[in-house]
A and B are shown apart, each in its own frame.
Chain A
Amino acid sequence: MKKATIIYQSGEHQWIALARDPEKPNYLIDTNEYLITDGTTALLTDPGGSEIFSMVFTAICDAYDPAKIGALFASHQDPDIISSLSLWLDFNPDLKCYLSRLWSTFVPHFGGTDETFIEIPDEGLNIPVGSLNLQAVPAHYLHSSGNFHLYDETARLFFSGDIGAAMLPPDMNDLFVKNFARHIDYATYFHQRWMGSKEAKRVWCERVAKLKIDMLCPQHGAIYQGADVERFINWFDELPVGTGLL
């Protein structure tokens, strides 16, 4: 089962990371989900694929009452991001799902109706979660053409979707990056291949460098914290990616 770890807490305001499932079959990419709550309600980022629904749901049950989850946030349209949607809607048909306007007619193939989706315009959106106010930050073409990250200004935590992802070997199972130099080797190929545009990358780096971020939380791999956040942004800014490698 995935492990639920509280990575931020201030009163009832929490970020709970759901990660590292030892039972996950190797043919499925490992994913991190983050539950962001103000105590009364919660939003779940990139809830994952249908194959891991039971692992995610039960990990949440360890730390939080899933009945309080009011919204899902899909950074983009991939199956490892949101193909569990129909199962979440079986659980609670009133759940809302925030996602790029580009995918609002694609993702319903996984489930949901026009009542389910709240489209995020290209420039981003403020997303209320109870008393919290999260910001959907544009990250288009990194790697999806309609792509968003999520910033919690109060907690200074940033959900970075596929940016920051690393395909880590089994002996590097820590939730947080421990050794940036070693860690980044496992992130290089992923970013070079999955991130399509150096122009989009530059825009993202400039945008995110202005935010106050204590933790950068990717959907795959380990969480960057403290100085490793800036280290990562600088590394990414310098990295040749996507069409620049052709």
Chain B
Amino acid sequence: MNELKIIAEINEEIKKIIDLAEDISLTATNAILIARQAGSNAVGFSVVARELRMFSDKIATAMQELSQLIYQQVSITATKRNRLRSVLKLNQASARHELAQTRLASACVRSQSEVDEMERVISNILKSLQIAMKRTVKQCASGMVIARSAGIESAHGGEMTIALRQVAQSVENVVNNIAIRIKKLGIQLTEVTA
């Protein structure tokens, strides 16, 4: 599969993760309201719900950062493809005629050096992508811990225990979904960088 196609798929995955992060934010807000109804019994749950909302913001920010890097990657990859095509055409013309070779020599060198420079920039963007990805994976692991804590804290909800358990289960499902998608994202990024 070509790199632009993989990048387009990665971008779609990022959009889905941002949507899921928004789901968590809404669910966490709902959880805070339910915890308030449960009173002092659900103070722990309320703290966990606030942590979940922060987690959701962090994931959304991380995805936006990835998205920007991906945009840069798409832009420069498209330009590089265009330049590579020029290099090919210029080399074809050079190979066909002695005068063409002489006249196009500097254009060939210039175009090739532009391609080389773009590859260097692409390599740097990919490194940034990998770093951002590792950070996101760590954030996601924290999110799973918080989601499990929500499940534990829901047991202290008194009359609201069932409602809190449902909310906690819902959060855990969404966080697990995010974790699966981030893992998939990591694999896709490896394909691009390979």
Contact = CB atoms under 8 A, between A and B. Distances in A.
Interface of A: 1, 50, 53-54, 57-58, 61-62, 65-67, 86-87, 90-91
A44 B111 CA distance: 23
Interface of B: 82, 85-86, 89-90, 92-93, 96-100, 103-104, 107, 110-111
B99 A90 contact: no
Contact of A87 (B89, B96, B103): B89
Nearest to B82: A86
B93 A54 contact: yes
A169 to B, nearest CB: 27
Contacts of A61: 97-100, 103
A67 B103 contact: yes
Contacts of B99: 61, 65-66
B110 A90 contact: yes
4 closest pairs, A vs B, by CB?
Answer: A54-B93, A54-B92, A61-B99, A58-B97
B85 A50 contact: yes
A171 B20 CA distance: 65
Contacts of A50: 85, 89
Contacts of A87: 86, 89-90
A57 B93 contact: yes
Contacts of B82: 86
A66 B104 CA distance: 10
Given A58-B100, A61-B97, A90 B85 contact: no
Contacts of B110: 90
B107 A57 contact: no
A62 B93 CA distance: 12
Nearest to B104: A91
B107 A53 contact: no
A1 B92 CA distance: 12
8 contacts: A53-B93, A54-B100, A57-B93, A58-B96, A62-B97, A66-B103, A87-B89, A90-B111
A54 B103 contact: no
Contact of B89 (A54, A62, A65, A66): A54
B185 to A, nearest CB: 33
Given A58-B96, A58-B100, 11 more contacts: A50-B85, A54-B92, A57-B93, A57-B104, A58-B93, A61-B100, A65-B103, A66-B100, A87-B90, A90-B107, A91-B103
Nearest to B88: A54
B157 to A, nearest CB: 62
Nearest to B111: A90
Nearest to A57: B93
A62 B100 CA distance: 9
